[in-house]
Every structure is written in structure tokens, then in C-alpha cells.
Structure 1
Amino acid sequence: MILLTGATGTVGGLVARRLRGTTALRLLTRRPDRAADLSGPRVEVCGGDFDDLGSLRSALTGVTSALLVSANPLTHTHDEHFLTAARACGVRQVVKLSALAVTDPDATDLITAWQRRNEQLLTASGLPWTLLRPRAFMSNTLGWAHSVRAEGVVRAAGGSAVNATVDPRDIADVAALTLLEPDAHAGRTYALTGPEAISAADQTRILGELLERPVRFEELTVAEALSRLRVRYPAPIAEALAESAARGRAGAKTQVDPTVAKLLGRPAGSYREWARDHLGAFRDGT
């Protein structure tokens, strides 16, 4: 039995779809009703919460491998609770979704420090582990969809800064592989990037080419970008995201890693491929 946390999120949902029908799956979510489209043969959806140790123990009973996706940098208990329950239930492998920023000694923001601590909790837990460290998701550009549809504009700071962004589908494929072959990936750490480092301005250009209409990039000041983040996120998270963006503008996120291609036996997906497959989100009237 494989347990997936974050099954209604970006990576967890993709992993669920890849593993559905191939093995017994249990999907842990706070909102089981939101996982209805993930149902299928040998798929069990269970309600639970990282704050509720009892629900975690129930969800992890009988589980051999688990995907751990936690998402709240303002608490330090979620990974602790999950690993405590996993040990108690005899889980034999935990695959942890982390972030590539943890390898950057200059990355000291709240979110990266939280991810580092979570990695340390796992590697010190006594449980067999695999760490997945992706660069920024290509799907983050879905945040531009409204302004592209309504105005033909992308607004962001640091339009010329390049980032080796990764297709979440590649992350999911790697996660599925490691969950299905736990012994082969125990104690391994995987850096996951796309095939090239690309700027927001170039991503905007690609969207315009695929949409066959003008889409322009509009540079925001750092202050303007931070103001927008503060509208969407609690202040500490907004500040952390702004620090991360500053590192990106300084060139800290440019390195391309071959791990995706080596593990999957095919090239990592490009931004153009991702955008083509999600173009409907950016089209007028969608």
C-alpha cells in the first residue's frame, strides 16, 4: 500500500493519476470530497490532518511507502507528526518533496529553512528515505493566466533572470518511480530541474507564440512585486518569497541538472511543452 499526502495538490494529484490502477493507493486529504476525480481501482481516500496524530496513524496503518508533501512553513509540527506516525506504523519508505534551494548556503529565508529542517527530521528519523528537490514549478506561471487572458500582459519583477524551472509532471514521474522501487532509491537525493534555464520574459514570449497573439512582459519594481505577494500570503511567507526572488535575480537558480533525464530515460520537459499542454488556461474565454 502506498500513501500519498497532498493528493489534491499539484504534484500529489499527478502522482495519484500515475499510480492509479498499478498498485493499492491511499490518499490522505483534509477534504476527501475534493479527491473524487482521483478515484479508481484500489484507490482509497481517507480524511486526515497533519495536526491530528490519530488520523495520521489510521492513514498510515498497513502502508509500506509514503509520499510526504507538507505545505505550511509557519508550523514546525506537520512533518514531525507524520514521521512519528510513520515510525509507529512500520512504514518502510518516505519520499519527501523538498526544494532545491536547500542546497544553497545563501538561502536563509523562512521557507528554505523550514524545508531544511524537515529534511533533517526525515534523515534522522530512522526511516528509509528519498528526497526530491525540485526547482520552481513551471505551473507557477498559471498565476499569470488572468492577466494574459484579460490584457495580454505578464507582470513580474526580474523578467530577465533565468530559472531552471521543472515540469511538475516530471516531478510526479520521479516520485512514482521512487515509490514503486523503494529499495533502489533509499537514501538518495534527487535534484529535479527542467532542460534549460529560462526567464519570465522568455516564458511570456513563448506563451504569445503559442497563443498566436501579442503577450507583453511588464517589469514590476521589487516593491511592487512584494506588495502583490503581501496581498496573497501572510507577511512572513511573502517576505520569504521575495528573498527567494532576489536570489533568482542574482543568478542562484540557473543550474540545469540531468537527474530527471537519467531517472526517466527521456529528456526533461521544456517550458514550451508544458505551456502548449496547458494553453487553455491562458486563452480568452477560459
Structure 2
Amino acid sequence: MTILLTGASGTVGREVAARLDQKLPVRILARNPQRVIGAGPRAELVVGDYADPASLERAMRGVHTAFVVTNDVGGSDDARLVRAAHIAGVRRLVKLSAAAVEDPQADDLITRWQRDSEDLIRSSGLTWTFLRPRSFMSNTLAWASSIRSEGVVRALYGTSANACVDPRDIAEVAVRALTEDGHEGRAYTLTGPEPLTAVEQTAELSRALGIPLTFAELTPGQQRDQLLARYPEPLARALVQSAERQRAGAKARPTPTVEDLTGRPASPFATWARDHASAFTPGRERLPEA
């Protein structure tokens, strides 16, 4: 039973690739296979692109189950992938979605796109499983540069909590969904074991690094300017709306799903911080993905 992985060069996908290679035949679809690191020696790398339907169909031939990761917000990548899956005879899709789709108050661009993607897959006739994680613990890598150079964390709404999740926990659940029966038609909300604020994460990073760190709260205007420097305006606006929902407490509730599915508690942020302390250590020039 061959499994196709998309997004294998990303935060969660690379962790899935590293775990799956020990279990079943794995095929990895990538625009640039050189960016895929961590895959085992048995993994088959194929070149392809969501914008090239023929490459998707080739990649899916002989595939039973596919791990679906898309990031073309508002685009048609999911539709192209579903169409190719039908043509190739793929039976099951495991889709990386987002926890916000469950919140009726969440109506930003990114959440609407994720809902539409889920609806598309749900109505496709294919068997599906949705993974809906909270924010990744690895998002704090965005603070690495200012920590290394100044010992400062800058973020919006420092006392608003998020039950963020270790990407490695998401990957462990994904492997189970890809390789086991019983996950069909299920949607799993994945969180860490506790809600944490940016101020509390800063304290955990300080302990992991063994150095004092300072938290400096951004104003909404400063945050908006930072986002506009990196993203198109509609996407930046969606991220601001998401931060407002977190401020209102919408992202603070942990779920037991990781423990229910893996048999062990979800990993705390303190563990993630210790394991990735080198990324925040002064003297490092590059910020690794995790």
C-alpha cells in the first residue's frame, strides 16, 4: 500500500516522512526534491506541482492513501488534487486543516478557505480524515532573530493564550491516520496539553536557553505593519483577525486527542523549547525549519 506525501519539505510533512518510511512504501511529491530532508532511504521522490495536473496524476498512480497539505489560500490546489486522486484511483485522503474551522466566530480568509477545502474533500466520494491542529509551537521560531541579537521577544497580545501543539505530535497522529483503519470520516482537533501565552512561552525559552529574555508587546499597528511587509493585504488581515480571536480566548482550550490516539500525553512547550534551543542560540546565522 503506497502512501503519497505532499508538503514533505514543510514543518509537519517532514516529520511525517521521517516516520512513515519505516512502515510502508512512501512516495513524496515535491516541486524541488532537494528541499525534502529527513525522508528515509526507501522513500521515492517524484517531481510535481499542483499547477501541473498531469504530474499529480503520475504521482498518484498506484497510491492508496495521500497526505494532503496545501497553502494556496483561496486557490484551487485542493480541487486539482482531488481530481487527480479520482483519476488515479486513490482511496483515502488525510488532510492537514486547522482547528479554527470548528469555530463559528472564525470567518477570516484563511479559515473560510480551510472550510471550503474540507467541504470539497467531504463531498468528493473519497474516504477522508481531517487533522485540525492549533498553532504550531514552532511558530515561535519567528522570534529567533530578535532573541539571538537582543534577548527580546516581540509579539502581539502577550497575555492571550493558545493551546499550541508540537508539530511532531501532529505527525504521529498523521501516521496513524495514514496507516491504520478506523480513522475514516473523522476530524481530529490537535492541541498541546495546556494553553500558553507569549509571555509564558518567553519564560520557557529563557529557561531552555539559560539566559534572561524580555517580552515586548507590539501594538496592533506595529503587528499589522510587520505582517504587511511579509504577506499580501488580505492574508495579513486574516492573521490580524485570528489574533483577535485568540485575545478573546477562542484558542485556549486543550483537547485530549493526541493522548487518545497515541497513548501518551501531548508534548508540552517546555520540551519543544529544549529540543530546539539551538535555533535561538546567539551566533547562529540561519533559522532552521522545525
Partner of residue 169, structure 1: 168
SS at match of 1:194: coil
Equivalent position to 1:211, from 191, 194, 209:
209
Q: How does 1:95-174 map to 2 (within 5 A)?
A: 95-174=94-173
What amino acid maps onto 1:268 in structure 2? Answer: A
Could you report, residue by residue, the CA deviation over 1:25-76 in whole angstroms, capped at 9, with x for unpaired residues?
00001111222552412x100111111110100000000010000012141x
What TM-score, normalized by structure 2, do the two folds share? 0.96
Partner of residue 7, structure 1: 8
Aligned counterparts of 2:25 and 2:225: Cα–Cα separation in 1: 45
SS at match of 2:249: coil
Partner of residue 84, structure 1: 83
8 Å contact 1:21–1:40 — kept in the other structure? Answer: no
8 Å contact 1:157–1:222 — kept in the other structure? Answer: yes
Aligned counterparts of 2:267 and 2:193: Cα–Cα separation in 1: 7
Could you report, residue by residue, the CA deviation over 1:190-214 in whole angstroms, capped at 9, with x for unpaired residues?
0100000000000001111121111
8 Å contact 1:48–1:55 — kept in the other structure? Answer: yes
What TM-score, normalized by structure 1, do the two folds share? 0.97
Q: How does 1:59-74 map to 2 (within 5 A)?
A: 59-74=59-74
8 Å contact 1:93–1:127 — kept in the other structure? Answer: yes
Partner of residue 22, structure 1: 23
Equivalent position to 2:273, from 272, 275, 279:
275
SS at match of 1:38: coil
RMSD: 0.9
Aligned length: 283
8 Å contact 1:27–1:45 — kept in the other structure? Answer: yes
Aligned counterparts of 1:274 and 1:21: Cα–Cα separation in 2: 23
Could you report, residue by residue, the CA deviation over 1:114-168 in whole angstroms, capped at 9, with x for unpaired residues?
0000000000000000000000000000000010010000001100000000000
Aligned counterparts of 1:159 and 1:37: Cα–Cα separation in 2: 34
Equivalent position to 2:260, from 231, 246, 262:
262
Aligned counterparts of 1:60 and 1:230: Cα–Cα separation in 2: 37
Task: List runs of 5+ in structure 2 lacking aligned partners.
Answer: 285-290
SS at match of 2:215: strand
Aligned counterparts of 2:128 and 2:23: Cα–Cα separation in 1: 22
8 Å contact 1:53–1:81 — kept in the other structure? Answer: yes
Aligned counterparts of 2:150 and 2:74: Cα–Cα separation in 1: 35
Could you report, residue by residue, the CA deviation over 1:87-133 in whole angstroms, capped at 9, with x for unpaired residues?
11111110000000001111110000000000000000000000000
8 Å contact 1:159–1:200 — kept in the other structure? Answer: yes
Task: List runs of 5+ in structure 1 lacking aligned partners.
Answer: none
Percent pairwise identity = 52
Measured after TM superposition, the shift of residue 21 of structure 1 is 2.8
Aligned counterparts of 2:138 and 2:126: Cα–Cα separation in 1: 31
